[in-house]
Chains A and B, each alone.
Chain A
């Protein structure tokens, strides 16, 4: 078997005396959709931050296609093909939807070092393609900061998908979305996974969303990994039911 596309190997992160993530060993296989679930404070976002260069693990190793990426900056990891979205949607509010996607494309292609040619005509067809992928062609010229929450999230996906990454790290991709929007996001993610072979690791609170999308599920609790496996086996795991699923899905 080839090296996993992203691998957390005994990774821990402590903030002061608090151990947010403890000895996590988990890997994302090429072309796989993996969900990391767990109650608030379980360490899911911290794990994602360590996979995307936002945080450096206290101990342990993170590898991308077999190469250690500990200490790599976020922008360097983007150029290795690791893209992400944030729990609190992160976009460029005073730029238009088109400009948001275009800057992501230009940055990914290393074209931002051009000083003297106009930017506004560059890469328009690719920008349109990305917007079509998240079904946002209609909002092209709107200011990103004025979009509704669900639309902003979709714009953030388009930004993350710019330049065809190989790994997507999504922190609660459907937080604050309506049911219809959720279904759309599930469709979009399944499509990029199927068509482009993108590997996706996401955290999520909405259990229906998790079971609709994930091919494998990892469950975190108080910084540790307590279960991992196919959706059915995780659903049946008594410890998982106790710490997590039990609360909302016992009925």
Chain B
């Protein structure tokens, strides 16, 4: 099982690595947005699917990553790559602060408070003209070498692939299983000896850090950090991507991110309402595929493979899981 995931993952990375030879430059740009969204959604799901916490403020950590690159460059003259390296630390630090103040709350209160803190960070960045440039945004200068699309594409692919692999290792580690146990039953988790709040803070911090890394890549790709990257409507994106792909699967949010970003690109080219279209798509997915695209596929595969009394056993968690996951 684990070996097979690694093989598929490696194959996908290889296919993506061949893309500069197979497709146009404009498609490469879309693909880079897809890769960044994949990292963002996968990082986000460490909190939602794995730990069972519904965060509604992850745009803040994404945006902080982008601003780290722009601010380090604008104020200290540090190169883009240094900014990208610092992005996850800055975003992770703020995520940790927010988590320390919010994890004692549960469910809706937690979601609302993460939203409130994200809006606070957004407001500071949008209003502090002398430091952040306010709503004009802050430019990122890309060094000549990475100005070549293919070069930046490989940088993005390398960082995203390594990060997703790292997240995969984390999810399957004892720490990841502890997060799962906390999602399943926080009471029992603390009575087997886990410090539930500490683990929740750790998960939130790691998730925020990788979201920041995605944001740093995004800011560098678009050569700009904008306050709107942190706005609360942006926080809906990883939630929708994760839900569309399946929050109880590791690769579901990545698939959701790809669907979301590609759909967004083509719909935005033909109509002015990409979010409306995607809202309808997610609505249909949640109604008819409550476990998401990947979650549903997995159940089909295991059902057709076993095709016997085992099949019944395999479908039950799908039913049980329909309304779950977001329990905090």
**What is A's interface to B at a CB cutoff of 8 Å?**
52, 54, 73-75, 78-79, 83-84, 86, 90-95, 99, 102-104, 106-108, 111-120, 122, 142-143, 145-146, 159, 162-163
Contact = CB atoms under 8 A, between A and B. Distances in A.
Contact of A119 (B172, B184, B316, B317): B172
B178 A94 contact: no
The dominant DSSP class at the B interface is helix
B84 interface: no
A111 to B, nearest CB: 5
Given A119-B174, A120-B172, 18 more contacts: A54-B191, A73-B195, A74-B191, A78-B191, A78-B192, A78-B193, A83-B191, A90-B187, A90-B191, A93-B185, A95-B180, A104-B192, A107-B189, A112-B175, A112-B199, A115-B169, A119-B177, A145-B320
Nearest to B321: A94
B313 A103 contact: no
B280 interface: no
Contacts of A122: 174
B190 to A, nearest CB: 5
A75 B185 contact: no
A-B pairs, top 10 by smallest CB distance, nearest first, are A78-B193, A112-B178, A92-B184, A104-B192, A107-B193, A90-B188, A107-B192, A119-B174, A119-B177, A74-B190
Given A112-B177, A116-B173, A143 B185 contact: no
A91 B185 contact: yes
B317 A143 contact: yes
Interface in B139-195: 166, 169-170, 172-178, 180-181, 184-185, 187-195
Contact of B188 (A79, A117, A143, A159): A159
Contacts of B321: 94
A111 B175 CA distance: 8
Size range of the interface on B? 20 to 34
Interface of B: 2, 166, 169-170, 172-178, 180-181, 184-185, 187-196, 199, 313, 316-317, 320-321, 324
A118 B175 CA distance: 10
A35 B188 CA distance: 23
A84 B174 contact: no
Contacts of A86: 187
Nearest to A113: B175
B185 A90 contact: yes
A103 B169 contact: no
B173 A143 contact: no
Contacts of B181: 92, 95, 103, 107
A93 B327 CA distance: 14
A202 B195 CA distance: 25
Contacts of A142: 313
A118 B194 contact: no
